[in-house]
Amino acid sequence: MTVAVAERAVEEAAAADPASAFFAMRNVQSFYGESYIVQGVSLELRKGEILALLGRNGAGKTSTLRTIARTVAPELRSGEIWLENQPIHKMKAFQAAQTGIQLVPEDRRIIPGLTVEENLTLARVAPGHGWELDRIYSHFPRLAERRTQEGVTLSGGEQQMLAVARALAREVKLLLLDEPYEGLAPVIVQEIERILYDIRELGITTIIVEQNAVAALRLSDRAAILDSGEIAFTGIAKELLDNPELLDEYLAI
């Protein structure tokens, strides 16, 4: 795929009707104070698709996920975000979560003082229940083994499993994963990757931000590259994986 084709794909995404797709962003702009971070991002996903959102450090990937999840920062100042014809851009974070948008942040945010099972049970208190505990434990057997252990005492990989499982314990229509492999040993990365492939087979629409671009692209249907807060490329994940020119230009790999 040439750069010209990539640019045309960006233009087509921006021109699409945002309310017609399962998930869509159109010309989204968000700020930290006066710092312009997400600069006119437009994306679109069909139900069940997985998007790898890639870019160098500081490109705006995490800020884009946080904008979709409607966290307090960054501040969304213009643009539209839609999920199943619902205007997410008009909502607060708790309302977006109730529509089925679940963010698994890079820092995992396991609640101290609570066991694994208590973390999962608390997640199910919110309206719109997701997976039952038995289903969670069948997909995350290591969490079943540690259900009575305090969540913050788990290893890094186990905490990542708990963070993903906690998102699935809520109603989830759009799963946002921020650096799920960050800081994990290769053997644990393989286990997390297996879980993410299971999620893929279940047809959960997902956006994954990951520095391990090759692993993310193998998992994904589509890909987008952010460069200084702007979309530099959108297209099929495999086409990007097979395009060393673009990988080198925007990701230095």
Q: Are 60 and 228 in contact (CB under 8 A)?
A: yes
Q: Which two tokens stand for residue 43?
A: 């994306």
Q: Which two tokens stand for residue 95?
A: 């309302």
Sole residue written with tokens 């990539």: 6
Q: Which two tokens stand for residue 39?
A: 């600069």
In this structure, are 76 and 187 located in the same domain?
yes
Closest to 37 in 3D by CA, of 253, 228, 251:
228
Q: Are 102 and 94 in contact (CB under 8 A)?
A: no
In this structure, are 62 and 130 located in the same domain?
no
Q: How many domains does the chain have?
A: 2
In this structure, are 96 and 131 located in the same domain?
no
Confidence (pTM)? 0.90
Question: From first to last of its 253 residues, what are the pLDDT tens digits of the chain?
Answer: 444 444 444 444 444 555 568 999 999 999 999 999 999 999 999 999 999 999 999 999 999 999 999 999 999 999 999 999 999 999 999 999 999 999 999 999 999 999 999 999 999 987 777 999 999 999 999 999 999 999 999 999 999 999 999 999 999 999 999 999 999 989 899 999 999 999 999 999 999 999 999 999 999 999 999 999 999 999 999 999 999 998 898 888 7
Q: What is the CATH number of the domain that holds 28?
A: 3.40.50.300
In this structure, are 20 and 50 located in the same domain?
yes
DSSP 100: T
